[in-house]
Structure 1
Amino acid sequence: MQKQCFDLDPLGDVLLTLRCPNQLDLSWRSLIFAKPRKSAEGSDESESRPKSNAPTASVDEPNAHDETEDVQFLLSSRHLSLASPVFGTMLSGGWKESTVLIERPRKIARLENSYTTNSESQPRHQITATEWNTEAFLLLMNIIHGHHRKVPQKVDLETLAHFSILVDYYKCQEITEVFARIWIEKLAPSLPRSHCPPSMIWIFVSWVFSNASIFEKMTELALKGSQGPLETLCLPLPSVVLDAFEEKRTSSLQKMMHAVDEFRNGLLNSSIGCDLACTCMLLGALIKQSDRLIHGQHVQRSIKQVKLDFQGFETPAWGSLDSRGRATRHDCSIASQLMPAVDKVWYNLKGLKSDDYRVQKENEVPKV
């Protein structure tokens, strides 16, 4: 069976082989995701694969029936180099993913034989990549090679995520940002309202395409809803963002716990509470209910969960006798005394500003 092949440039001088395609799992039905392998060493010989009985795919759509068969793309080195400094470095011989082929693939040579009889002696490039999503890669190549009528007006969030991974890796934001902006605008009305795997995808997408507003909104959801360090799925967010996120999350948790400590100290020194009975009742109830949080078990709980824990602290009902000997209920409660300080931490907690963490220059190529 012939490999699936997409001719982005029928006279192209680059043959890119995508091995083990569609291996990056972004499904939010599971929280266990494979770590992406960005590339593999080039080879002059095709890797042997089990044959499949699935029908040969057309050149316009990826083959959905065979995700393990190598996929080949016939591309233009000039288009790739102009769009991506990473491809430019590969094609100049600086990366191990690329090799120069003297022998031309028969399909390409057949196209060129009508123009020259010496085509098979011309040097050509071969690039190898692994695990990328075929649909997203074809989408990127259509944009780079100017086949804009084949680019859809809208995509789903998972496709946008795979596309963003490619754009981030190959550093081709400039040529793709117009299409990405259109897709983001159409998906934006359905932004998540709580932290979840889709919101994590939005954090990465907004980071890649410099959408500061969405990045701040989604990181705020994550700061308040994450139960630990940010789960990145298999999305390559830079460590500077992850470190800043965790520092801000733990700092906000500590501020909430500090509010509890301040409340407790205020009850002990009687600066909070109406009288001795009031401070004793509130202090006893606070110690009993906050023991689990005070002893560090708040670390693996989200800020939202900790806030709800504090909000749910119960105050025992008690009263006193007035001058006429009638029983009256005491109005002081833990919530009325504690929650203003906790709410202040909650409402002051905002998302990260993406521009604060952009340390790489726009066209900087990752180190090999």
Structure 2
Amino acid sequence: MPGVVHQIDPAADTVLLLKNPGAPFAVWKTVHSDDEVTMSAQDEGGTFENDESEVEMEEDNETESQHESSDDKAVRYLVSSRHLTFASGYFKSSLGRVGWMEGHPSEADGMYHLTTTDWDPEALLIMLNILHLQNRKVPQTLSLEMIAKMAVLADYYRCGEAMETFTDKWLTGAAQSSPIPWTYSRELVLWVCIAWVFKRSVEFSCATRRIIYRNQKSTVNDMGLPIPTVILDKTEHERYRNLNNVFDCVQAWSDTWRDPCYQCTKWGASSFPCASMLLGALTIEMHRLGYITPRPEIPFNYLSVALVCQQIRDFAEPRWYSEMHSYGRADHVCSLEETVKKDVVKIKNKLAGLKMDEFKDRAEDADAVTTTAIL
């Protein structure tokens, strides 16, 4: 039998065949402009007018090579159908339904045959050892990358509960070696996936908050991970809402100082110069950043809550004096710091991550449907 074989259960009655093992996982794609692509081609001395026949021949050769080597690369796991169906909703469905080919043993060898593709072979081996209670063969610590792969497997095969004993240990270690990053990155999205699948509410709220706060794009790059669309949509909506709140705050103060009836709360006699100085400073700084005409709107491309809040906090402060009658002149105490900047900080501090209990796990529904169908 070609390829790698893992004997998980000595009395195995099932062969799980993994084709195309180790396919690229959670690729963090970056979007390049057409100009960048063109420049790249020119820099390499190439053109876009490649010989189509040569390209087709190369593709055909690659396809033939892939077919010839697929059996050699495939990994086989000899497992127990009883363990699989007990711990996994997916296997309960595929092996338990009448009429499914997978639900009948082969006449050739008397074993059930299942096929899967693309998984990391080591991650799949760890999962199968867990499902077969081979606890001593399960690593006590894993990298963040491998934990994410385990989360994807747990979601697909609906066996998260069986992994609970190990996920706590894995995540405790990952929190030390690969803590939730402050920047919007691949690792941050991996944490969202891990926290969602393994029901880690604190990590879920923390990771989604940082995406809302740091993401500068209109959508979240989910990399094909099992993060429900409703979570991605809510994350994007919260980014829009908070950015709108920041610009609404600036607009509100601008309207306040533009109002002819504005009264300075520190020194009423200086209301006009107070409003003039603050409105002028705010307008100049907003214009410098290009936020006046037009005002930024959804989807706020290339803007993050973190970026805009920091830009506003860095606004230059005007300084002027008020006449204090018998006391002479004194620094006027009104400032952008105590008005616009203070309110923007409040918006930032109120920004919260998503709450896990607001979302329903589709895997639980799938298992309920499967159980009903079998019964």
Same-fold call, TM cutoff 0.5: yes
Identity across aligned pairs (percent)?
29
Alignment of 1:57-206 (within 5 A): 69-93=73-97, 98=102, 100=104, 102-104=106-108, 120=109, 122=110, 124-189=111-176, 190-195=178-183, 196-206=185-195
TM-score by length of 2: 0.77
**Residues 23 and 321 of structure 1, relative CA distance in 2, 3 Å threshold:** same
Instruction: Report if the CA contact (8 A) 2:182-2:210 is conserved.
Output: yes
Q: Residue 191 of structure 1 aligns to which amino acid in structure 2?
A: P
Deviation at 1:289, TM superposition (A): 2.1
Deviation at 1:31, TM superposition (A): 4.8
Other structure's SS at 1:126 match: strand
| Aligned-partner Cα distance in 1 for 2:285–2:191 | 37
The residue that corresponds to 1:302 in the other structure is 304
| Aligned-partner Cα distance in 2 for 1:238–1:91 | 26
Instruction: Report if the CA contact (8 A) 2:9-2:80 is conserved.
Output: yes
**What's the RMSD between the two structures over aligned residues?**
3.1
Q: Residue 276 of structure 1 aligns to which amino acid in structure 2?
A: F
**Residues 71 and 95 of structure 1, relative CA distance in 2, 3 Å threshold:** farther
The C-alpha deviation readout for 1:94-152, integer Å capped at 9, x for no partner, is 79894756354xxxxxxxxxxxxxxx4x3x32212111111111100011112111101
**Residues 296 and 169 of structure 1, relative CA distance in 2, 3 Å threshold:** farther
**Residues 165 and 340 of structure 1, relative CA distance in 2, 3 Å threshold:** same
Decide which moves more: 162-171 or 92-101: 92-101
Other structure's SS at 2:77 match: strand
Structure 1 unmatched runs, 5+: 33-46, 53-65, 105-119
Structure 2 unmatched runs, 5+: 32-64, 265-269, 371-375
- Larger % of helix: which? 2
Q: Residue 71 of structure 1 aligns to which amino acid in structure 2?
A: V
Residue from 282, 289, 297 that aligns with 1:286: 282
| Aligned-partner Cα distance in 2 for 1:94–1:188 | 44
Other structure's SS at 1:362 match: helix
The residue that corresponds to 1:271 in the other structure is 262
Deviation at 1:328, TM superposition (A): 5.0
Other structure's SS at 2:130 match: helix
Alignment of 1:4-43 (within 5 A): 4-26=4-26, 31=30
The C-alpha deviation readout for 1:57-87, integer Å capped at 9, x for no partner, is xxxxxxxxx9x82111111111111111111
Instruction: Report if the CA contact (8 A) 2:262-2:275 is conserved.
Output: no
| Aligned-partner Cα distance in 1 for 2:369–2:285 | 52
**Residues 31 and 154 of structure 1, relative CA distance in 2, 3 Å threshold:** farther
Q: Residue 169 of structure 1 aligns to which amino acid in structure 2?
A: Y
Q: Residue 81 of structure 1 aligns to which amino acid in structure 2?
A: T
The residue that corresponds to 2:50 in the other structure is none
Decide which moves more: 4-13 or 255-264: 4-13
Instruction: Report if the CA contact (8 A) 1:49-1:69 is conserved.
Output: no
The residue that corresponds to 1:230 in the other structure is 220
Instruction: Report if the CA contact (8 A) 1:24-1:234 is conserved.
Output: no
1:216 aligns with 2:205: yes
**Residues 349 and 358 of structure 1, relative CA distance in 2, 3 Å threshold:** same
| Aligned-partner Cα distance in 1 for 2:121–2:101 | 18
Deviation at 1:272, TM superposition (A): 5.8
Deviation at 1:254, TM superposition (A): 1.1
| Aligned-partner Cα distance in 2 for 1:367–1:50 | 40
Aligned residues: 322
Instruction: Report if the CA contact (8 A) 1:26-1:158 is conserved.
Output: no
The C-alpha deviation readout for 1:153-180, integer Å capped at 9, x for no partner, is 1111000000000001111011111111
Other structure's SS at 1:275 match: helix
